[in-house]
Chains A and B, each alone.
Chain A
Amino acid sequence: MDHFVLPNSGHNFDAKSSKMGMWLFLYTELLLFGGLFLVYMLYRYANQDAFLLASFELNVWMGTINTLVLLTSSMTIAMSITALQKGNNKLAINLAWATIFAALVFLVIKYFEWGAKFDHGYFPGMDHYNELPHGERLYFYLYFFMTGLHGLHVIVGGIFIAVVIKRIKSGRVNKNRISLLENSGLYWHLVDLIWIYLFPLFYLIH
């Protein structure tokens, strides 16, 4: 033990533990969505035709654009980490802003997608939804629940990155104390990872 620091003194920065803690949290997130994927797989197996029919209601092109938007945002946040590691704070901040911008684009497109479904009454509890066969109702229920939970993660990730930008500006996150930016990046990549599976499952199952 070469040095001792009081807890919460601000001097107990430990990059390795920070990252490990973040990864442990991400593993629990994987299992959270993993459980939902299991539900999806089972119900899809039991209602194949209904799931196929219901999936034609989704707009493949909007889904594709959103996938590309998320992939691009993953690249910008990854580059933001590279920029900060090289000591280029300005570029790191701009790339983090680009990520938040992509998050907003994703949410706006999602808003229009969900809006169209609401207009047609596909949200659980609406008139048209109640008239649908059992299998299609399951599909839309899972669609709204899983993309909704994912959308929540997009919002949280965006706020997380905004906090990090503020701290890069104030100097609390810098070249030598990069953990918070790295962790926000890891969280953002998880959002991307989950979408990578949600997209083919809901949009491309023809």
Chain B
Amino acid sequence: MTVPIVPLQEIPVTDSPYVLLFGGVYLSLVLGIGVWGYLQTESTADFLITGKSVGTWVLALTAFSVIQSGFGFVGGPELVYSFGTTALWIFFTAPLGFVVAWMLLAKRLRLLADVRDVMTLADGMYVRYESAWVRGLTAVAVIVGVMAYLATNLAALQYVMRAIFGLPVVWGLFIGAFILLAYSTLGGMIAGVWTDFVQAITMIVGSVFVFAFALSFGGGMESISRSLASADPAFVSPFGAMDAPAATIFTALGWWILFSIGTAGQPHLITKFYMSRNLRILRWGAPIAAVTYAISSLIAFSAGLSMRAMVEAGQTAAPKSASVVGPVFVLEHTPGVVAGLILAALLAAIMSTSDSFLNIGAAAISRDLPRALGRPIENDTTELRVTQAALASITVVSTLIVYFSETLVGILGTIGWGFFAAAFFAIAALGLNWTGATKEGAIVALLGGLAVNLFYSAVPRIAETAGFEGVADTIAGLYPFPAPFPVGTVALLVTVVLFVVVSLATQDGRSVPADIAVLIER
């Protein structure tokens, strides 16, 4: 999920000592965890998959944390404030996504990490399909997606740093990026999962408080609903008020598919399954992650609806921008302690999602691409150092993109959840549950997902930026669905069709590696 960028500069700078205190404590804590993680990290396996050391609660809460990015805390209230219940089809669907990911992939991927020495998604896809092309394309898709996510997250981070510490935006960017770089490079995924754990606790506690304050602020749920219905009945209908009725319904249902099924295609989530200490750890992960996400989604639901109801009733002023509804609500309508907690949680949400992306992106550069090209790094210590260097390079490049080009950040912002869902759901979630899947099916699905996403999302944005509005209009005219219907859903469905059809057509004489077949058939 991407974070809305530029409007975040409207987040007011607060002088609350609690905000400064919680923000300072959080940053000190992550740096401390980074140093501790460094002391625990001896090998590439430690750096990338924690040496398979993670227990039930840490696994579940890190899974929740990487999915609940800054988008949930900022974009959630914004979307609900702007369009009503339409956005709930994103946030209320995500818990179901954990069920999908766990059922289809948890056991398969964790056992795969014992059956073969896999550490990345590209490793897993390579041993499944025995194809360097699949490995290489997986790595390329990971790198593209990671750069996009990181740029948008860093762009948001700079404004959150400014809001908490009162820093100039550019200092917020560089200091925030430096702290992220420091603890991610030092502590790898060991630091990553433990900072995610801290973030999860912060977000859950904060969400419960915000929910209570938001309902109280709006005068209770029925008062909020009636106030909104009097302004626009569609606002509190099952599908919300995003667009014309039919387009809104399609958008909501498209998100329902994308954020349930698509969860099993998010590489920063599913590679966490490699990290569990043993298989038993996986058992309660899905309910813990699903319930905690459900609790955290109450922020979007309550703050967005409550603020809009009070604005419609003339009880409070409309925020300067819908994108800052969440932060403004907690700063102006909750006690300083809660506001401090929530802004620290927002900082944590952005950083914890970013560290997971950094990790998989670095591994794609240091491990997956060289191996796909037949030039693996032979020595483990060298591979670890190259991975750390790749991680630092990705951070620096993303920071420079944010610093120099708001336009490029906007283009990259078109690549997000749907991009990963389309690229990886079919080849990973279906491919690890179906012995009939072939490498040709995987390659065509990967390319098809990339093509649909880039053609309908990125190309029109690039054309507009370059002054070719006609091209963007032509592409929009070629889109056979209602305009707001998510491109990611279309790409996901197209890749499923391509994957199955091409696999069926190329099955003759093909077999799955015997050890992998044992895994798929049990």
Our verdict on whether A and B bind, yes or no, reads no
Q: Which residues of A contact B (CB under 8 A)?
A: none
